[in-house]
Amino acid sequence: MDITSAGPRDQRRFHVLGVPVDACRDVSAAAIGVHADGGGQIVTLNAEMTMAARSNPRLAAVIDGADLVVPDGAGVVWALRLQGVRVRRSPGIELAWDLLRYAEAHRWSVALVGAAPNVMERLKERLMVERPELRLVFSQHGYLAEDAWPGLEAQLTELNPDLVFVALGVPRQELWAQRLKSNQAGVWMGVGGSFDVWAGTKQRAPQWASRLQIEWLYRFLQEPSRWRRYLALPHFVWSVLVNGSQQRPAKQKQAKGRRVE
């Protein structure tokens, strides 16, 4: 990414199983464009989230309303390809790190919310070393008692940061960001397990696993207790093959009618 020029947003919206996803020539430029346009929400879409959106209308509505939906997973890229749309996979963790670099270079104020307390501590230590000029104005781990959240939210929205990363897991992080981002000038983005990787407590799949499109297998082997989540993947592939990749979620069909691309 050329961090000295934002470039045009250059963004076209498509749908995978009725869930929107944007094709952009340069995702980082498009993300910076969200800030230039007055702020908004970025969602990073993979097969698992696509399936979650099909059974969770609130999540589906958040993705529909997002300013930028990035093709984060190989499954989404594959489903788009079946429609004749060729995009590169844009892992959310890489986009998020690009945005941090941009934020440092452009003196953006940054807030980080989520992950375990020790992860947040280690992440801040790493950022102090690697991004020493970063204006980190707010950081909070994600395991607060329920009654502590309203105060935290008020403090955060008062700060109105340029960039807010939320690591609370899907769909909570997307719903939370959507609720708080209104009237805010910044970019809000759910980053899943990125803080754990940046802090060094979890490993990202190696390049070869990404190339073979088996990153999910690597993650599964790291956390086999989450096997249930991976059932969404064959279901996704099956749904795309049987129904065609653009089909809308059944629950939204009646309300929104047929969408013509």
Which residues of this protein are in contact with ligand UDP, per CB under 6 A? 114-116, 142-143, 167-170, 192-193, 195-196
CA atoms within 13 A on the CB side of 255: 9
d(C-alpha 110, C-alpha 139), whole Å = 9
Residue 118 or 243 with smaller CB distance to ligand UDP:
118
The candidate with the shortest Cα–Cα distance to 44, out of 110, 107, 93, is 93
Specify whether the CB–CB gap between 131 and 80 falls below 8 A.
no
3-class secondary structure, 41: strand
**Smallest distance from the beta carbon of 182 to ligand UDP, in angstroms?**
22
Sheet with 68-71, strands from edge to edge, namely 68-71, 40-45, 187-190, 163-167, 109-114, 135-140
Between 43 and 134, CB nearer to ligand UDP? 43
Q: Whole-number minimum distance, CB 108 to ligand UDP, in Å?
A: 22
What is the smallest separation between the CB atom of 173 and ligand UDP, expressed in angstroms? 7
Which of residues 21 and 93 has its CB atom nearest to ligand UDP in the complex?
Answer: 93
Distance in Å, CB of 53 to ligand UDP, minimum: 13
Taking CB positions, which residue lies at the least distance from ligand UDP? 142
Nearer to ligand UDP, 6 or 53 (CB): 53
